[in-house]
Amino acid sequence: MRLSNGRPYLAIPGPSVMPDAVLQAMHRPAPNIYEGALPEMVHGMVPDLKYVAQTSGDVAIYITNGHGMWEAVLANTVAPGQKVLVPASGRFGYGWADCAQAMGIEVQLIDHDRHSAIDPERVRAALEADKAHEIKAVLAVHVDTSTSVRSDVAALRAVLDDLGHPALLMADCIASLACDEFRMDDWGVDVMITASQKGLMTPPGLGFAFFNARAAEQRRGMTQVSRYWDWTNRANPAQFYQFFNGTAPTHHLYGLRAALDMIRDEGIEAVWARHAALAGAIWTAVEHWGEQGPLTLNIRDRALRSHAVTSMRLGAPHGERLRQWCAEEMGVTLGLGIGMSDPGDPNGTGFFRFGHMGHVNGHMILGLLGVVETGLAALDVVHQPGGVSAAAAYLATV
């Protein structure tokens, strides 16, 4: 029997669930973009964004998505013909490398398999061999949303410092910010990018570049930076329109203000702890189901798993069947597997993901797990029943 009417639940790794407070904040007439409440609100958001990133550096806000942010920060720091090192731990690492290449930047890629975090020792070896310091930046994805692995960004800083290598350390925190613990200044990250539609709980369309004094200095050494991507005026605008190099994304900003209020009220440490507890419930259930049958978590080591997204394999075609069943019968949309198989590979339908980033709580995650366990049973996929009970028992202890 079809039970999908009611409030739909998009459990994919971005766009994430939007809080009612965010939706309501956006439902208003167009504001004056030249003076008054809107400019004041934007100036007031800057310290809150830095709080979420745990930095005292600068922030530039763009009207773009995550792909735009890859390009934005490279445009400010690495010229065509110069070189970057990309230790890729999944599809998004390759995406950033591809973006750099298309800008005429030389890419040195360190390929990992689809189940491992970035290996700092392989990064060390590559940097050690770069005696002439041709590598201008190391591009690291904190949580790769395809594999759901979380890499140790602070360990990369330790390697750079050990070797005295001047390359900038850049982190893609598009999936992880305001979900997984991230401390930009303490971890020595020079440039960090994120976007509005994941942990920040706001519709897709805003991108953010955080950068420190070292990165600002590298920017000053560039002979040419395109006007739109240039972060200089955006971070320190003399006039309000320079924040966005044009018209402000008015309604996104109201939504973001509401989301930042929620994060401030909860406290960033509590936000991280909530994501950790809910991720623990998910792993407990999935590990339990997988005691029989084909279901496996992509990342074996709990310490390397993201708290924002979980990538799993059920075997073709069951991943796709389960996704369809959950959407059609129960109103829950699960994430597609991406980057886990080559395009056209029939095994591709064996993968799926849960997004659990941002505005999620205990009842949503237990509901999600209940729907998935029901789906496994309805579709006759072999599994160990009782995953939801195991998750409930786990949550009773956290």
Cα–Cα distances in angstroms (integers) from residue 132 to residues 129, 135, 166, 220, 357, in the given order: 9, 8, 11, 21, 41
Nearest residue (CB) to ligand PLP, 197 versus 349: 197
Asked if 190 is part of the footprint of ligand PLP (rule: CB under 6 A), the reply reads no
In single-letter form, the type of residue at position 341 comes to S
Quote the least distance from Cβ 36 to ligand PLP, whole Å. Answer: 30
Q: Which residues within the stretch 170-189 sit at the binding site for ligand PLP (CB under 6 A)?
A: 172, 174-175
Quote the least distance from Cβ 144 to ligand PLP, whole Å. Answer: 6
Nearest residue (CB) to ligand PLP, 67 versus 251: 67
144: Cβ–Cβ under 8 A, 6 or more apart, which residues? 88, 89, 90, 91, 92, 93, 151, 175
Asked if 196 is part of the footprint of ligand PLP (rule: CB under 6 A), the reply reads no
Asked if 335 is part of the footprint of ligand PLP (rule: CB under 6 A), the reply reads no
Token digits of residue 122: 């392989």
Exposure of 121 by Cβ count < 10 A (0-12 exposed, 13-18 middle, 19+ buried)? exposed
Quote the least distance from Cβ 63 to ligand PLP, whole Å. Answer: 12
Quote the least distance from Cβ 145 to ligand PLP, whole Å. Answer: 3
Kindly tell me the number of DSSP H helices and DSSP E strands found in the chain: 13, 14
Question: Alpha-carbon distance 271 to 263, whole Å?
Answer: 7
Question: For residue 384, which phi and psi values (nearest 5 degrees)?
Answer: -85, 110
Question: Alpha-carbon distance 83 to 165, whole Å?
Answer: 14
Nearest residue (CB) to ligand PLP, 175 versus 372: 175
The three-class DSSP label of residue 109 is: strand
Q: Which residues within the stretch 144-173 sit at the binding site for ligand PLP (CB under 6 A)?
A: 144-145, 172
Asked if 251 is part of the footprint of ligand PLP (rule: CB under 6 A), the reply reads no
Taking CB atoms, the residue at the shortest distance from ligand PLP is 66
Contact residue for ligand PLP among 92, 208, 243, 244 (CB under 6 A): 92
Number of residues that bind ligand PLP (CB under 6 A): 13
Asked if 320 is part of the footprint of ligand PLP (rule: CB under 6 A), the reply reads no
- Of 111, 120, 117, 109, the residue nearest 159 (C-alpha): 120
Asked if 209 is part of the footprint of ligand PLP (rule: CB under 6 A), the reply reads no
Question: Alpha-carbon distance 135 to 156, whole Å?
Answer: 14
Q: In what order do the strands lie in the sheet with 106-111?
A: 58-63, 206-211, 191-195, 168-172, 135-141, 83-88, 106-111
Nearest residue (CB) to ligand PLP, 142 versus 288: 142
Asked if 204 is part of the footprint of ligand PLP (rule: CB under 6 A), the reply reads yes
Site map 49..78 versus ligand PLP, x via CB under 6 A:
----------------xxx-----------
Binding site for ligand PLP (CB under 6 A): 14, 65-67, 92, 141, 144-145, 172, 174-175, 195, 204
